[in-house]
Structure 1
Amino acid sequence: MRDFLLAAERLTSRLATAALYIAGAGLVLMTVIVFAQVFVRYILNNSLHWAEPLAVLIMGWFIFLGAAVGIREGSHLSFDVALHYAPGWMKSVFHTLSDIAIGAFGFGMVWYGWLLAEKAASNVIPGIGLSRAFDFAPIIGGGVILVLFTLERILRRAVGLQTLRFGDLVEE
């Protein structure tokens, strides 16, 4: 199990790195699109009809990808006051309970995001002509990797491993 988990950790580490690069590229691309829209609107007195819906779609991707990676690396927001005073064995229990709750939230993102995408699929996003189902793709995609990353965190803790940074495993 431990060897399998170490191999899986390398794979999810690459996935997390790719997600961060995609999120960063999305942030840059969204900024360029918004700048282009402002330039075209106020300097050229025209409008890019596709700029705002595309920027919002890209923003959804970089938000949910970045949040999932933040959860995986333990750098996302958390409330650690009780952990500071808890005995060592209880900290692991609290972290696992937190991961279970986050994984359940990720599962909810996938489930309800899919239901919303099904209901919206017959509509079209004005300006870019894509199905409205694409509006919910970042929620579904982010939920899938959130569940994967929280499952990895729970299993790592179960076999006595903890990740501090990308790829750096240490014994707990």
Structure 2
Amino acid sequence: MSAALRRLGGFLGGVSTLSLWLAGIGLVAMTAMVAWQVFCRYVLNDSPSWTEPGAVMLMSWFIFLGAAVGVRENYHLGFDVLLYVLPKSGKKWLRMISDLVAFAFGNGMVWYGSQLVALTWGTTLPALGISGGWDYVPLVAGGALVCLFSLERIVLRLSGEPIDDILDDLPPAEVAAELDTANLKA
């Protein structure tokens, strides 16, 4: 691997880790907000108005950040049946198409999300007192990260780096044996 790709991978690994931590913190904060809302509603009989829109906004952030990290780590659901019958070179191109589709989808998230931000920026979310555009900023940020991470996978694959499953190199009988071994260890 070239030094530039190694530095880029290290940087994007840091971005991915930071995104995952922010998503986790957002999940905990959203849980605390909802718990506070329930406590205030049923114990204090006075529910704060900011908790629901705040929790929904935090949920948008951790969903889109987590989805982008899923693209980088190749954790998203996929239709893998065709991958089992294709030769190794065919698998590489099928995965490349998948990454290109993810890149295009991320571009759409950025493009249309930016339009939504611009369209709603002049409005105010009354319960939070901030611009309505902030509702759509997570869509743009998540889309940018999806583009970045899928582009990284495309570049690494084109440079010949082994980013796909290590099980691709094994014959089908050995793949089954590896999966059985992994299941026994779990």
- The question of a shared fold, defined as TM-score above 0.5 by the shorter chain, is answered with yes
Partner residue of 1:168? none
Indicate the residue corresponding to 1:56 in structure 2.
56
- Give unmatched runs, 5+ long, in structure 2: 170-186
Higher share of residues assigned helix? 2
Report Cα offsets for 1:32-71 as digits up to 9, x if no partner: 0000000000110001110001100000000000001011
**Residue number in structure 1 paired with 2:7:** 7
CA 1:16–1:162 in structure 2 vs 1: closer, same or farther (change >3 Å)?
Answer: farther
User: For residues 71 and 144 of structure 2, what CA distance do their matches in structure 1 show?
Assistant: 13
Comparing both chains, which one has the higher relative contact order based on Cα–Cα distances under 8 Å and sequence gaps of 6 or more? 1
1:133-172 maps to which residues of 2 (within 5 A)? 133-163=133-163
1:31-110 matches, within 5 Å, as 31-110=31-110
In the TM superposition, residue 76 of structure 1 has moved relative to its aligned partner by 1.1
Between Structure 1 and Structure 2, how many residues are aligned? 166
CA deviation vs aligned residue, 1:97-116 (integer Å, no higher than 9, x gap): 00000100000000000001
Runs of at least 5 residues in structure 1 that lack an aligned partner in the other structure: 165-171
Find the counterpart in structure 1 of residue 129 from structure 2. Answer: 129
The 1-side partners of 2:61 and 2:88 are apart by 37
Higher Cα Rg, which structure? 2
- TM-score scaled by length of structure 1: 0.93
Q: Please identify runs of 4+ aligned residues in structure 1 that moved more than 4 A.
A: none
What amino acid maps onto 2:158 in structure 1? A
Q: Report the AA paired with residue 59 of structure 1.
A: M
Q: CA RMSD in A?
A: 1.5
